[in-house]
Amino acid sequence: MRSDRGSASLEFIAAGVLLIVPLIYLVLVLGRVQAGTLAAEAVARQSARVFVTASTPALADARVKSAVVDGLADFNFAPAEATTTVSCTPAGANCLRPEAWVTITSAVMVTLPFVPSILGLERFGHITVTGSATEQVPLGAPRA
């Protein structure tokens, strides 16, 4: 008759590792995706706010670029991992016209942790999250 003494602890350790490793990876992925979502929303919101308060289109562009860099840095993303687009309502040549609505949409590419680059797997190792914000250009002095 064979003894099974000690095999339960070994089975528990093996099953625990098989369950804990994917759970830890899931937590890492969800944390990174959440950081990307927060970064996209923060960048869009702050960019819209600084855009509508600018006096010239050149100043607005500079402020948006600065807001994008700062917002992404807060969540450990590089500027190359994001894109930002500006649209105006009503559509026209001057987005800084008083009472115009400016919508800024930002998209952040979140790279999943520990995805190997073998066999081209890095193509599937990212998720793109977006955020958008709309602000109205305040009434005031005429703008350029």
Quick: pLDDT tens for 13-65: 888 888 898 999 999 999 999 999 999 999 999 999 999 999 888 999 999 99
Per-residue pLDDT tens for 56-112?
889 999 999 999 999 999 999 999 999 999 998 887 768 888 888 999 999 999 988
Domain boundary assignment for the chain: 7-136
Contact 101, 134 (CB under 8 A): yes
This prediction has a pTM of 0.81
